[in-house]
Structure 1
């Protein structure tokens, strides 16, 4: 395969970075120029040594996320905070125009045929979009991967600008979504007319776990701690479980905090409900041992793309209880390898946990179903073959 420019701009190192790592490490191009924002958290992207054909190129443009963080740090000075927010809005589109020119000259110097943008959430990283436009002007064949999709902005002027950018991406790039759910959102809420290609994320196959149930059932959630992952939901769930007499269980929350106020609120609620011994915070650490030690995987997210953490659970044979969020509805067959629960439905989530607590044999049965479903649809080999077929086709 000819040389590829692979472009990344993520604000939070997560599943999309892990997918990017696996694509560039396995796609077997002659040369891959990996463009990474120098302010990115690359802990997932560069978790393992990359093949020698990959050259990392760091770019240093300030992002709107960084500007937003700076604005939020001034909330205690209301006037300055409002002025900074207005400045950020006015600065956004001139920054996009500047970055199109900036990346055009960067790409034009490289010997590449293909361009792949790995967009964690559309519109998401503005530079993922502007770099795609730059790549088109540099005569590269463009692909734009979208891990999750958002609605249009509230202001009418911005809607017009966003529709124009959507139209350009739609015309110049093959758009790839990682779930049918997000492809539908993109078609419904944004200005995309093409038939969007869906390629499910895939990960490596792991050895199926062997269950040796102890008296205490261990549940697991792996996710960054902030409002969209919604771990506070588990506090209400466990408060109800304990009051119903289910005390031989514990939930392990594995993930870094990216919102200190949210973490403080979570800790205060755990203390208020006396749940510190039931819900245990581990921070950012390798989750492998927790997948092996725990029995059931829980997901409470409000928004997801095609979550890697649930694939990791399926790949070793763990059943899953999840809120209906993004691509999780395409990973979990309700009543087969887990359960799907409507957003905010505490009683239903409690009911599904109790089902497994009262029927421990079903934990293994549901887990085996998930393991087989993973092997059928979600391996890294299947994902890479689909990308190769699309790019070369």
Structure 2
């Protein structure tokens, strides 16, 4: 098969981690092409030997931008003899549907978020294409809120990369571990809907009672400067460390004892899966998608959004009960192996690709 993956950009994020995973799993037996407006992960594509084409910002709805992307994608499809366009962005999928009218190429969309608005636009963009959702919650929203045909929607749980050639770990994290601290991390973009300020508030409450716990946030984003100010205002610099983006999160998680995820909206977040693959339990907000990864008291705990006290209580419970922590660790790895391993991820995508090509 000749597959064209398209996204708005090749930024550091869960959607592109999924694209890269598919590239690695499928490139030996298929031709894989990428199209986006570019980004920091282009070097990863180069290392994989994957050709990348540039398109304009698919979020830009100016007619000349849309027409430019249509022309570019039509040319790519013809020049590369593409069988399937697999889009990972709603507006990119809408553009791909137009390209399909000119070329006959088949279109698949992956829905990475549990959307909360723009249901009519979603229906326009995704109607009459095969859809992959990363969680059952995302599937229900597309079916019930956007009125999309359930027969065209399949849930495939995400998987993660568990090996990384880059073994370099942030010296601050190593130093904290060497000093014997219990390390709690959040891995996310530094953006408001990831609950980053709640993460700081949780840390503030926890360290009031326990000086042996430290917090690290792995990630970058538009709120980083404001978050640093927030930490400084609360005089928490010696308790909370912003480590920035890392292209080898797995290696950093090997120094972490517990993962938090304070998000307000997700699809099926990758950070808990990365943690589970290393036997690390997770305390996270009880939101759609995330609550399909965590079984309360089995591989972690769910608390309500903005429930700072709830997070603190569960952290203290786990920290003080080593037997509980050991059991949560064991179950975390077990659930990863059973539900989120890469073999299932690869085989289910291949199955959908073959199915859609047979429909011609």
Shorter chain as normaliser: what TM range?
A: 0.7 to 0.9
Post-superposition CA distance 1:208-229 (Å, at most 9, x none): xxxx998531111111211121
Q: 2:188 aligns with which of 223, 231, 237?
A: 223
What's 2:214 paired with?
250
Aligned counterparts of 1:329 and 1:206: Cα–Cα separation in 2? 26
**Which structure 2 residues correspond to residues 38-117 of structure 1 after superposition, within 5 A?**
38=38, 40-42=39-41, 46=44, 49-51=47-49, 54-59=50-55, 61-64=56-59, 91-92=61-62, 95-96=65-66, 99-117=69-87
The alpha-carbon distance between structure 1 residues 253 and 163, as it changes in their structure 2 partners (threshold 3 A), is closer
Q: 1:178 aligns with which of 128, 131, 134?
A: 134
TM-aligned CA deviation for residue 384 of structure 1: 0.2
The alpha-carbon distance between structure 1 residues 185 and 107, as it changes in their structure 2 partners (threshold 3 A), is same
Question: Counterpart of 2:235 in 1: which secondary structure?
Answer: coil
TM-aligned CA deviation for residue 335 of structure 1: 0.8
Question: Counterpart of 2:47 in 1: which secondary structure?
Answer: coil
Determine whether 1:269 maps to 2:230.
yes
Post-superposition CA distance 1:82-115 (Å, at most 9, x none): xxxxxxxxx4567446633542344233312222
Tell me if the contact between 2:12 and 2:40 (Cα under 8 Å) persists in the aligned partners. yes
Aligned counterparts of 2:193 and 2:3: Cα–Cα separation in 1? 33
Determine whether 1:350 maps to 2:312.
yes
The alpha-carbon distance between structure 1 residues 383 and 163, as it changes in their structure 2 partners (threshold 3 A), is closer
Tell me if the contact between 2:123 and 2:148 (Cα under 8 Å) persists in the aligned partners. no
Post-superposition CA distance 1:280-326 (Å, at most 9, x none): 11112343343111111111111212111111100010010011234
What's 1:20 paired with?
19
Determine whether 1:321 maps to 2:321.
no
Question: Counterpart of 1:293 in 2: which secondary structure?
Answer: coil
Q: 2:111 aligns with which of 129, 141, 146?
A: 146
Q: 2:299 aligns with which of 303, 325, 337?
A: 337
Tell me if the contact between 2:5 and 2:35 (Cα under 8 Å) persists in the aligned partners. yes
Tell me if the contact between 2:258 and 2:281 (Cα under 8 Å) persists in the aligned partners. yes
Under a length normalisation based on structure 2, what TM-score does the superposition of the two structures give? 0.85
Query: Structure 1 stretch 6-15 or stretch 288-297: which is displaced more?
Result: 6-15
- Aligned pairs, number: 340
Tell me if the contact between 2:3 and 2:33 (Cα under 8 Å) persists in the aligned partners. yes
Post-superposition CA distance 1:337-393 (Å, at most 9, x none): 000111111111111101112112322210110101100111111100111112113
The alpha-carbon distance between structure 1 residues 130 and 273, as it changes in their structure 2 partners (threshold 3 A), is same
Question: Counterpart of 1:228 in 2: which secondary structure?
Answer: helix
The alpha-carbon distance between structure 1 residues 228 and 7, as it changes in their structure 2 partners (threshold 3 A), is same
Aligned counterparts of 1:269 and 1:56: Cα–Cα separation in 2? 39
Question: Counterpart of 1:281 in 2: which secondary structure?
Answer: strand
Quote the RMSD (CA, aligned, Å). Answer: 2.6
Question: Counterpart of 2:44 in 1: which secondary structure?
Answer: coil
What's 2:352 paired with?
390
Question: Counterpart of 2:88 in 1: which secondary structure?
Answer: strand
Where structure 1 has 5 or more consecutive residues not aligned to the other structure, the ranges are: 66-90, 154-158
The alpha-carbon distance between structure 1 residues 383 and 247, as it changes in their structure 2 partners (threshold 3 A), is same
Q: 2:329 aligns with which of 351, 364, 367?
A: 367
Where structure 2 has 5 or more consecutive residues not aligned to the other structure, the ranges are: 165-176, 356-360
Under a length normalisation based on structure 1, what TM-score does the superposition of the two structures give? 0.79
Question: Counterpart of 1:344 in 2: which secondary structure?
Answer: coil
Determine whether 1:165 maps to 2:124.
yes
Post-superposition CA distance 1:179-235 (Å, at most 9, x none): 11111122232241233100111124579xxxx998531111111211121211022
TM-aligned CA deviation for residue 164 of structure 1: 6.3
Q: 1:192 aligns with which of 148, 153, 167?
A: 148
